[in-house]
Structure 1
């Protein structure tokens, strides 16, 4: 008599489930927001003059020394940021692929008269994330590796303050425009991402949803204004 054999179902780790991936996205996204806020704090020191801004840049490179090597803390933050971005992007791609497969071929046939429940920020998360990723690479090449010298000939021979001034002069208006578009994408991404992360982590609920929605909007708006005010002041000649 023939006996049928059944293959044991493949075990899926908790982190590989949709909930696990959303938690990974939430945690990595919140880390990115904290990094962005710290970066914004440093940028605002441009209003205090060259000594304050250059001093802060030096502090970031020397903090922890001699327990850590020169720029040790900076490299730890950079590595953590890179890991967070990889985890965030990987989780987003897997969730997007699963969602697309679940919806099937008729996913984009919208019934006439049905109102979309998505916000504009949520609908633009994918392309906004791509813009942010390209901008991060561009920003690192300009201000970290000094591979791109925008508005000047040799960034490596300039102070951090002078690099910032050179990078947003009127004759390199396209740099300002790219910065504006990237920050707009970042604002919408953070607005929806912060709200979604609070829900995923169980902080928000239906009763507090409106409150946390406004908190997410406030965080996004504060980041947009906080980052744009410096290059705008440089373009208008208030910082030189």
Structure 2
């Protein structure tokens, strides 16, 4: 029974964190549009708010769930043997639901229609390549820190990477299938058209797979216990790996 309660608490943390992340991305994008007519300044505002907010929510929920907030991170944890596949599937489900809820929440907070399907087409060759690069880099940042015993600095490193990737990638670094799905439901600065989303998700999964290869090549001694400390060490990461990483 305690295991069920722990799993429920873990999934609640992942769902809330994912919702807050989507609200950060979408809400700061809406605010940026309202505050400035300059696209470059809008992107700067969106990126800065997302990076700062991501740092905070990783600190907030990391000790409970590991602060994945991203199906690619959860699937990578499963591939590396740290997270049971059934638990990873549950993580992915709550991440998707959380990101959709967060996008809707952001819409409502800014007096937009609760659901407005985005018309912003983004699926171009350069954008998809950028998503592969952005996602592979994110996986490498997270799991290289775990392997080298520096998981405690991951909140800042992940936030810094995402903030920078807004600028060095042409796609503005979605790097997250759940965020991609959530952003379909807001026809605002951060939105993505449903017709573009599947290609983005495929590119992100490809980037995640590339990231796993790079982690294994660069850090061949990665153990499943170290992988369990993915984004930040969760409160029970030293327990049996038959349990979820943040349970």
TM-score bucket of the superposed structures, by smaller chain = 0.3 to 0.5
Larger-gyration structure (1/2): 1
Which gives a bigger RCO, structure 1 or 2 (Cα 8 Å, sep 6+)?
2
